[in-house]
Amino acid sequence: MIDDWLSYQVRIPNGYVRFQVIDIREKKQPDAPISEYLGREIIGSYRNLEFLKSAYRTEPESALVQYIKDYVISSEKNTIAKNVWQGDFGEILAGLIVSHFEGLKVPLKKLRLKFNRERSVFCTDMVAHDEPISTLHYYEIKTRLKVKRETVNGLTANITVIAHNSLHKDEQAPNEFIADFLSRMHYDNQQWEEARRYSDIVKNPRSYAKNYELFFIIDDKSTIVEILDDLEALPPALQPLRTTVVLIKDLGRLIVTMKQVAIEEAKKYVYHP
């Protein structure tokens, strides 16, 4: 379904030395089937849909809707809450793209771990890997309606530089914390082989190749040449490095619309299977 909406192209010639560019573009704006698909993936990223059915199938639809609004998807009551929902949307979309177009496994639905719907989950934005596991991919994902210079920790720079520095900071420390969490989670669920696989990453990290990924989801009115040029000017701290640029028309409208679509898809799954 996602390839009905988006195209995936490795940029050749690349034009940059320090990183590879992946261009993701819309074939068309999302129609009803694509929107419904995205809505199901969004709500499923926050909650197991069978959990919602078990908890709310005997309750009125209004109870399910209120639960989602109170506990699941961030509100729009202030800038922080809006930014959290925007960031969540970007992480969900990034996961769908790498799973479908690159055949990678995203082993953790991180948004299900939230204790506060209006806060981001604190860790590397996303980790993915091939099967069987030989290469680990570490992602920093940024979703922006407008590209402009931003100030983070005293540094004013384009979002590509900020994202690069954030991922580099994560990689300065031992970075197998997600693998450690996955091994413990699978062990608790008595999934012994999965627990063993992720535990091996923790014990033998040098046995696995690492790829570093910067992922930008931005409105298609944005100019991207400058932000990529700024990234090229940085020292080669992360290697190998790929940069994926997803351009979406009226991204802000899509993000707002998809919240209600996700709620409608939850209602359909619970009450109208």
The maximal CA–CA distance of the chain, rounded, in angstroms, is 58
The length of the chain in residues reads 273
pLDDT tens string 150-182:
888 888 889 999 999 999 988 887 668 999 999
- Does residue 172 fall inside a structural domain? no
How many angstroms separate the CA atoms of 25 and 126, rounded?
A: 21
Count how many domains the chain has.
1
- Does residue 197 fall inside a structural domain? no
- Does residue 236 fall inside a structural domain? yes
pLDDT tens string 29-60:
999 999 999 999 999 999 999 999 999 999 99
How many angstroms separate the CA atoms of 146 and 223, rounded?
A: 9
Instruction: Provide the whole-model pTM.
Output: 0.95
- Does residue 140 fall inside a structural domain? yes
pLDDT tens string 60-110:
999 999 999 999 999 988 999 999 999 999 999 999 999 999 999 999 999
Domain that holds residue 81: 2-149+210-271
- Does residue 255 fall inside a structural domain? yes
- Does residue 171 fall inside a structural domain? no
- Does residue 196 fall inside a structural domain? no
| Residue recorded with tokens 């619970």 | 270
Provide the strand spans (E) within the chain: 6-10, 20-26, 126-129, 135-144, 150-152, 155-157, 209-219, 241-248
pLDDT of residue 174: 67
Of 148, 167, 143, 168, the closest CA to residue 158 belongs to 148
List CB contacts of 136: < 8 A, sequence separation 6 or more.
127, 128, 129, 179, 201, 208, 209, 210, 211
List CB contacts of 12: < 8 A, sequence separation 6 or more.
none
Share of the chain above pLDDT 70, in %: 99
For residue 121, count other CB atoms closer than 10 A to its CB: 18
- Does residue 185 fall inside a structural domain? no
| Residue recorded with tokens 């570490």 | 138
pLDDT of residue 271: 96
pLDDT of residue 198: 97
| Residue recorded with tokens 């709620």 | 263
Share of the chain above pLDDT 90, in %: 85
Q: Is the pLDDT of residue 211 over 70?
A: yes
